Amino acid sequence: MFSNEDKEKVRAATDLAALVGETVALRPRGADLWGCCPFHHEKSPSFHVIPSRGLWKCFGCGKGGDCFAFVMERDHVDFPDAVRYLADRAGIQLSDDGERRGRSTKKSRLLEAMDAACELYHHQLTHVRSEGADRARAYLAGRGFGSAVADRWDLGYAPGKGFLARELSARGFTRQELLDARLVTQRDDGSVRDAFYDRVIFPIRDERGQVVAFGGRIMGPKTEHAPKYINSRESSIYNKSRTMFALDRAKAHITAQMEVVIEEGYTDVISSHEAGIQNATAACGTSLTAQHVRMLDRFLRASGDAVSRGRIVCLFDGDAAGIHAAERALSFTSLTTASLYCVILPDDKDPAEFLASDGPDAMRALLASPEPLARFVIDRHLERFDLETPEGRAPALADVVQAMAPLKGTPLADDYAEYVAGRLLIDVRTVKSALARVRKPEVRDDDPVETPLVRRTSTAPVTNRPAFAGARTAARPMQPDDDAVPYDDTDVPADVVAEAEDAGVFLDDTAAVVSTANLLPEDAAMVRVEREVLSTIAASPDAAQPFAERLAGVRWADPRHEAIAWALLSLPAGSTPMQALDAAEGVVPEAASILADGTMALADESDDARALSILIDDLEMRSLRRRIDRGRAQLRTPGAFDTPEAYDQMFADIAEMQRRLRELEGHQRATK
C-alpha cells in the first residue's frame, strides 16, 4: 500500500477545480465554485467546490469530500484505484508500484502509442489537404459534424499506405509495440501495414478517458470487400466486451439521471451528446454483452445500494436489425436490477438521422416515455399470429414463451405471464406451464446472446398489468406438471395474508414487495395515491372511520399498504399520530418511510376529512379501473368460470363497478 506521503503528494498535485470541471460546469460565486451535482439530477446548482481547501460538497444529495472521494463517486472505484488514477493523471510514481512497474511500463507504452496515433489521425483530418482528407471532412459535414465537433471528439482520418507506421516509428515506438497496440498488422512476408486505410477515425476511450482503440468508417457505401465499419482488434489494453463508446463522457450523467441510453453507432452517440442527451453510449464493434450490462449496472446504483433504482433504455434503429437487438437485450434481464426499456425510432431512422430531421426535443419526448423491453418483444411475437381464433392462439403461445424464456426466474415472469394470458384470452396457469417447459438461454460473459430475428413493428397502444422490478427473490420454478399458481407469501405475515384473503385480495409473489422507484408508470401513480391516503389517515386516525367500508373494497397495488390500512382502521377512537405509527410499524417494519412519503400538509380536522374524501375518491377510482380490467380479462379467458352463473355474476359485478366509477368521476368533475 502506498504511504501517506504519496497520498499527500497526489492530493497536492491535483487541481480539484480542474478535476471536477471535467464533469461539471462550474461557475464562480465569490472565492468558491458552484455547479449542478453530477451524482443526482438537479436543475439548481447545489454542488459547491472550495478550491482553497481542496473540498467539495453537494447540499442536495449530501455527498462530499476531497479529490479522492470525487473520483471514487464518479468512477465507482475504491480508494486505492482513485489514488492511482490521480497519480497517473499528475505523472506521479507511487512507491507501491515497484511490482507493477514492469507491467505498467509496457501498458504505458501502448497507451502512449494510442495517444500519438489519435493526434496524427486528428491532424490529418483538420490540417492536411488531400483527396482523402477532403472526403473525410465532407462525410463528417454531411452528418452535421463540423470542425468544432471534430475537435471535441478528436475525430480523425487514416490515409493508410504505411503513414501511421512510419510516423510512430519515427517517434521511437517499436514494431512490436505497434503490433501489440493493434495499430498495424503483419503481412505474410513479415512487413507491416496500417490497420486503418482511407477511413474516418473515431477514437474509442475506456471509462477513464484513455484512448485504447479506434473505429474506422468508410466514406462511401458498404461493399463486399470494404465493410462499413472496422474496429481495432482486442489487445492487452482493449476488450470489446468491457468497453463502451463515450462512457467516459456519459458516466456522470448516467449516475446523475439514473438512466443510460444505449445506441448502436458512434455517429449516433456523438449526435446525441451534441444535442444535449449526454447519458448515451454504445457498444464498440460488437453487440451488447453481459459484461456491458454488468458494467452499466455499477453506474445505475447510488453509493452503497445493493439494488439499482435506474433504468436502461435501448434506443434502436427502426429496422429489423434494431428489433433483433431488442430481443438480444432482453436476454440480459437477470443480470441487472435496473429496469429495461426500449425506444424504436419511426421510419427506420437511426438516432443521428432522427435528431437531424425531428430535433432534440422530439428525441427527449420519445426517451421520456419508453416502452418496457419485455412488453415490446412479447408484442412483436404476438403480432405474427391471428389472436382472434383458437387456431392462431395455440401457435402464438408456443412462440411467445420462447421469447419470454429470459424472464424465467425473475420478478417479471409472473406479471408478463398474466399479460400474455390476457392477450391470448387464456388462463394464466396455461402460460406459466408452457413457460416452465422452455429452456432459459445461457448468458455468457464473452459473447452476445443471439435470438430469432423479428421483422415487424407496431405502434398500436398496448395495455398490460405493469411488471414490478423489485429485488424480491423469485418464487420456486414452476414444474411442468404444476397446476397451482406458484405464489409464495412467506415474506408476508400470516395474519396479514389471512385478512387480505378475507377481503378478496390475494398476495402474489411479485406484489409482496414493491419499490416505487422501480415501478412502471401505471403502478407508480397508484402507489403514490395509496401513500398519500395512508399518510393522511396516520395524521388523523379518527377522520378515516367514515371511509372504512370504501377502503375495505380497494385492491391495493402494494400489499404493505393494505396491511397498514387495516392496522390504522383498527385503532380505537382518539388515537394519536404516534399511536398510529406504532400500529403501522407493528405490521410493516418500514411503515415510517412509507408514511413519510405523504406530501399533504393538513391544517385542521375539517381539512383532514376533505383531503381524505378527495384522496379516497381517487384511490377508489384507480382501484375500480384495475378491477374492471382484471374482470374483463377473466371474461375473455376460456375456462375462467366453472358455471354460467359465475360468469354472469362477474359480468354483473363489472357493470356495478362501472356504474360506481361513473358516479365517482361525476363527483370529481363537480368538485373541480
Q: Do residues 659 and 554 both lie within one domain? A: yes
| Nearest by Cα to 231 from 206, 201, 207, 208 | 201
With a CB cutoff of 8 Å and minimum separation 6, the contacts of 670 are none
The C-alpha atoms of residue 252 and residue 37 are separated, in whole angstroms, by: 9
Question: For residue 663, is it within any domain?
Answer: yes
CA 297, distance to chain mean position in Å, is 8
pLDDT for the residue 636: 58
3-class DSSP state of 47: strand
Do residue 16 and residue 119 come from a single domain? no
Assign 186 to helix, strand or coil: strand
- For 524-545, the DSSP string reads HHHHHHHHHHHHHHHH-GGGGG
CATH number at residue 50: 3.90.580.10
Please check whether residue 667 lies inside any domain of the structure.
Answer: yes
Q: Angle at CA 34, nearest 5°, toward 30 and 39?
A: 160
- The CA distance from 282 to 215, in Å, is 12
Alpha helix segments (H runs only) across 289-343: 290-299, 320-330
Rounded CA-CA distance 166/169 in Å is 5
Q: Do 106 and 213 belong together in one domain?
A: yes
Domain match, 611 and 563 both = yes
Question: Which H helix or E strand runs over 201?
Answer: strand 199-205
15 and 136 in a common domain: no
DSSP 350: -
> Are 552 and 615 within one domain?
yes
Give pLDDT, residue 75. Answer: 77
Q: For residue 158, report the phi and psi dihedrals to the nearest 5 degrees.
A: -105, 110
pLDDT value at position 226? 76
**Within this chain, do residues 501 and 641 fall inside the same structural domain, yes or no?**
yes
Q: What is the DSSP letter of 238?
A: B
Q: Mark out the alpha helices in 196-261 (DSSP H runs).
A: 247-257
Burial of residue 488, with CB atoms counted within 10 A of its CB: 0-12 exposed, 13-18 middle, 19 or more buried: middle
In the listed set 64, 93, 122, which residue is the last one of a domain according to the structure? 93
Q: 119 with 37, same domain?
A: no
The count of other CB atoms within 10 Å of the CB of residue 364 is 12
Residues in the chain, overall count: 672
Instruction: Determine how many CB atoms are found less than 10 A away from the CB of residue 520.
Output: 18
H or E, element range at 230? strand 229-231
Distance (Å, rounded) from C-alpha 360 to C-alpha 653?
Answer: 48
Q: Output the nine-digit C-alpha cell for 472.
A: 424480491
Domain assignment present for residue 260? The answer is no
User: What CA–CA distance (Å, rounded) separates 535 from 541?
Assistant: 10
Specify which residues 194 forms β-bridges with: 184
- CA-to-CA separations, 139 to 117, 348, 433, in angstroms, rounded: 21, 21, 54
Domain co-membership, 20 together with 134: no
Residue 387 lies in a domain: no
Instruction: State the 10-residue block means of pLDDT for the chain, 672 residues long.
Output: 80 87 82 85 85 88 88 81 83 65 72 96 95 95 94 96 94 94 91 94 92 92 76 92 92 88 93 95 85 85 69 78 78 86 87 93 93 89 79 82 90 86 76 89 57 33 31 29 31 37 35 39 69 89 88 82 91 91 91 80 53 86 78 63 88 92 86 68
Query: In this structure, is residue 600 part of a structural domain?
Result: yes
Given 222, 237, 252, which residue is the final one in a domain?
Answer: 237
Q: Note whether 115 and 187 are same-domain residues.
A: yes
* 8-state DSSP, 425: T
Q: Measured at the alpha carbon of residue 487, what is the angle toward residues 482 and 492, in degrees to the nearest 5? A: 155
pLDDT score for 608: 61
Rounded to whole angstroms, what are the CA distances from 264 to 232, 244, 317, 352, 491? 17, 11, 8, 10, 41
Q: Is 113 exposed, middle or buried (0-12, 13-18, 19+ CB in 10 A)?
A: buried
Q: Are strands 259-263 and 280-283 parallel, antiparallel or unpaired?
A: parallel
pLDDT of residue 491: 35
DSSP codes of every residue in 391-420: HHHHHHHHHHHHHTGGGTTSTHHHHHHHHH
- Residue 453 inside a domain? The answer is no
Judgement on whether residues 9 and 74 belong to the same structural domain of the protein: yes
CATH of the domain at 662: 1.10.860
Assess if residue 299 is contained within a domain.
Answer: no
For the chain, the domain total comes to 3
Cα separations in angstroms, 535 against 386, 568, 577, 592: 47, 10, 10, 10
For residue 171, what is the domain's CATH number? Answer: 3.90.980.10
- Are 214 and 111 in a shared domain? yes
Whole-Å CA distances, 49 to 42, 302, 427: 16, 21, 59
From 213, 237, 261, give the residue that closes a domain: 237
Residue span of the structural domain in which 656 resides = 494-671
